[in-house]
C-alpha cells in the first residue's frame, strides 16, 4: 500500500476506531471483545483498502465485517454469551447512571445475537431496513420481524422484577 493510502487508512482508524468499538460493544457487551472485533475488522479493511474506490463505502464495509465477526464468533462458541438471569453481585451499582448502564447491558445480553445486531444497526447506526437487510444478507421482512422480536425481548428483559431501576422504569415500560 502506498504512503498516501496508508495515511488515509491511519486517518480513518484514528477518527473511527472509537465509534466502531462502541458499536461492537453494544453487540457483545464486553469492551475487550469489542476491541478484538474492531481490530479484526480493521485488519480486514486494511487488506481491502486499495480496492475500495468509494469512500462512503468504507463505513458500510467495516460495519459489515464487525457484525459478521461478532455473529461468527457467536456461532463458534456459546460459552461467552449465556444470558444472565440476574446481575452479578459485583455489578451492584453505586449510582443511578451506573445502574442504568448495567441494566441495559444485561438486558441486551438476553436478546438473541442476531436480533441484537438488527437493533444495533437500525437504532444505533440508524440504518434503514434495506441497508440492514443487505448487510445481514436477509430479506427486509426478516429485518422487520427480527426488530419486532428484538424489541420484545429487550422490553421483557428490562421488565423483569428488580432489574429495571426507577430511572428507566418510566421510560421503557
DSSP 8-state secondary structure symbol assigned to residue 79:
T
Establish if 147 lies at the interface with other proteins (CB under 8 A): yes
| Distances, alpha carbon 138 to alpha carbons 89, 144, 150, 161, in Å | 39, 11, 16, 35
Residues between 47 and 66 with contacts to other proteins, criterion CB under 8 A: 47-49, 51-54, 57, 60-61, 64-65
Q: Helix crossing, 140-159 with 129-136: angle to 10°?
A: 100
Residues between 113 and 132 with contacts to other proteins, criterion CB under 8 A: 113-114, 119-120, 122-124, 126, 128-130
Residues between 26 and 45 with contacts to other proteins, criterion CB under 8 A: 26, 31-32, 35, 39, 42-45
What the block records as the C-alpha cell of 144 is 422487520
Establish if 168 lies at the interface with other proteins (CB under 8 A): yes
Establish if 84 lies at the interface with other proteins (CB under 8 A): no
Q: From the CB of residue 116, how many other CB atoms can be counted at a distance below 10 Å? A: 25
Establish if 137 lies at the interface with other proteins (CB under 8 A): yes
Please give the angle made by the CA atoms of 159, 82 and 43, to the nearest 5 degrees: 110
86 or 97: whose CB is closer to other proteins?
97
Q: How far is the CB of 53 from other proteins (least distance, A)?
A: 8
- In DSSP notation, 140-153 reads HHHHHHHHHHHHHH
Q: How far is the CB of 83 from other proteins (least distance, A)?
A: 12
Establish if 92 lies at the interface with other proteins (CB under 8 A): no
Amino acid at each position: 500500500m502506498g504512503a498516501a493510502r496508508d495515511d488515509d487508512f491511519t486517518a480513518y482508524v484514528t477518527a473511527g476506531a472509537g465509534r466502531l468499538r462502541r458499536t461492537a460493544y453494544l453487540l457483545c457487551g464486553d469492551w475487550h471483545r469489542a476491541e478484538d472485533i474492531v481490530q479484526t475488522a480493521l485488519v480486514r479493511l486494511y487488506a481491502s483498502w486499495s480496492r475500495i474506490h468509494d469512500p462512503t463505502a468504507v463505513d458500510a464495509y467495516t460495519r459489515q465485517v464487525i457484525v459478521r465477526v461478532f455473529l461468527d464468533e457467536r456461532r463458534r462458541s456459546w460459552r461467552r454469551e449465556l444470558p444472565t438471569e440476574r446481575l452479578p453481585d459485583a455489578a451492584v451499582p453505586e449510582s443511578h447512571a451506573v445502574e442504568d448502564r448495567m441494566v441495559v447491558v444485561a438486558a441486551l445480553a438476553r436478546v438473541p445475537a442476531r436480533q441484537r445486531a438488527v437493533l444495533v444497526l437500525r437504532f444505533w447506526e440508524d440504518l434503514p431496513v434495506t441497508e440492514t437487510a443487505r448487510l445481514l444478507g436477509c430479506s427486509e421482512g426478516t429485518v422487520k420481524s427480527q426488530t419486532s422480536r428484538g424489541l420484545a425481548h429487550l422490553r421483557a428483559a428490562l421488565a423483569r422484577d428488580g432489574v429495571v431501576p426507577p430511572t428507566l422504569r418510566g421510560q421503557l415500560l
